Chain A
Amino acid sequence: MQIVEILVGITLLIFAFLAIESKKIINSIIYLSILSMLSVISFVFMKAPDVAITEAVIGSGLVTAVFIFTLFSIKKVGDKK
């Protein structure tokens, strides 16, 4: 079990790094979504199911959607000029 925890932790770090470093903003939003999905797994390992449910819904669902909508509206304003 501990090996899985460490693997999840390492992939968390990798995706955090990718989210900072990726050139396209849409890619880093997707990486952030993957990051919060992985942190759901680690929350379950840490025996915090309440936090895991909240993170699964808000972190990977709603926040990703809000980020993507914001990205769309930013692009629209840029196109007008």
Chain B
Amino acid sequence: MKRLIAILLVGVLGFFIFTNLYSEGNGKVFPKFGEVKISERVSDKFVKKNVNGNVTTVEYKVTKDAESGSANMVTSIVVNYRSFDTLGEVTVLFVSALGVGLLLSGKSRMKFKTPPNFILKAAVRVVAGIILITGVYIFIHGHLTPGGGFPGGSMIASAILLFYISDDEFKTKVKAFKFLEGTAGSLYLIFGLLGLTMGGYFLYNFIPTGVVGELLSAGIVPIVYIFVGLKVGSELSNLISDFLSEEGK
């Protein structure tokens, strides 16, 4: 009976997904790819880097001093136009990591039943460096390519996770990570307050935005994303180390 209900539910969900995605005619919910009238959407204004009305075309590596200046539209919305929202997200992550730390953190490390073998250890030493560098690349280039602080930070945390899996004795310097987490979070707030004093708004983009598409463009966006990446990375690493610890013994 339970199985039947599950099959029915999955079928109904699949039916709605496919009819909404691929239906044509009057009853369609989502327009097909390529048929969207972008000029009628708000996102068009964000792509053209202006919400004030005077819309000009933006060219890669040519346009100077655009309103937001980041080549990646998602980043310009997340860290420039809705940066306060991102601050809230970082706070939510902090509170959840704090809860896990309060509930689970212990003195000694949990040991696996089967000890990690040599091949895993050697492979992780090769792979983890590449993963770390990729994570750092992703959050530094968050305003140019897809990605940003959150995926970059969690990539760093996944490298730390690989170290934890491959080595039974590995234990990060927890204090250093907590210090990094707190500092990065505070620096984000300090940049927000600097914007408040210089531009009149909290998290105002007060640094000149430069040429679209260059590494040092988009004002405070890359700086803020570096802080977010460091904070998320250290936070998730702490969370993993809390999950792998046990009290007593």
Contact = CB atoms under 8 A, between A and B. Distances in A.
A54 B158 CA distance: 12
Interface in A1-43: 2, 6, 9-10, 13, 16-17, 20-21
A50 B151 CA distance: 8
Contacts of B60: none
A73 B72 CA distance: 42
A50 B74 contact: yes
Contact of B10 (A2, A13, A53): A13
A47 B158 contact: no
A9 B14 contact: yes
B14 to A, nearest CB: 5
B146 A9 contact: no
A29 to B, nearest CB: 14
Nearest to A77: B246
A5 to B, nearest CB: 8
A21 to B, nearest CB: 7
Given A53-B138, A72-B110, A13 B246 contact: no
Interface string A44-61: 000101101110011001
B6 A17 contact: yes
Contacts, number: 67
Contacts of B150: 54
A16 B17 CA distance: 14
A4 to B, nearest CB: 13
B6 A50 contact: no
Nearest to B72: A50
Contacts of B71: none
Interface residues of B, number: 32
Contact of A9 (B3, B17, B147, B243): B17
B243 A20 contact: no
A65 B240 contact: yes
B17 A57 contact: no
B154 interface: yes
Given A50-B74, A50-B147, A57 B10 contact: no
B55 interface: no
A21 B3 contact: yes
Contacts of B240: 62, 65-66, 69
A65 B150 CA distance: 18
Contact of A69 (B6, B148, B157, B243): B243
B151 A57 contact: yes
B158 to A, nearest CB: 5
Contacts of B10: 13, 16-17
B236 interface: yes
A13 B14 contact: yes
B155 A47 contact: no
Given A57-B151, A73-B110, A9 B18 contact: yes
6 contacts: A17-B6, A20-B6, A50-B74, A62-B157, A62-B240, A69-B240
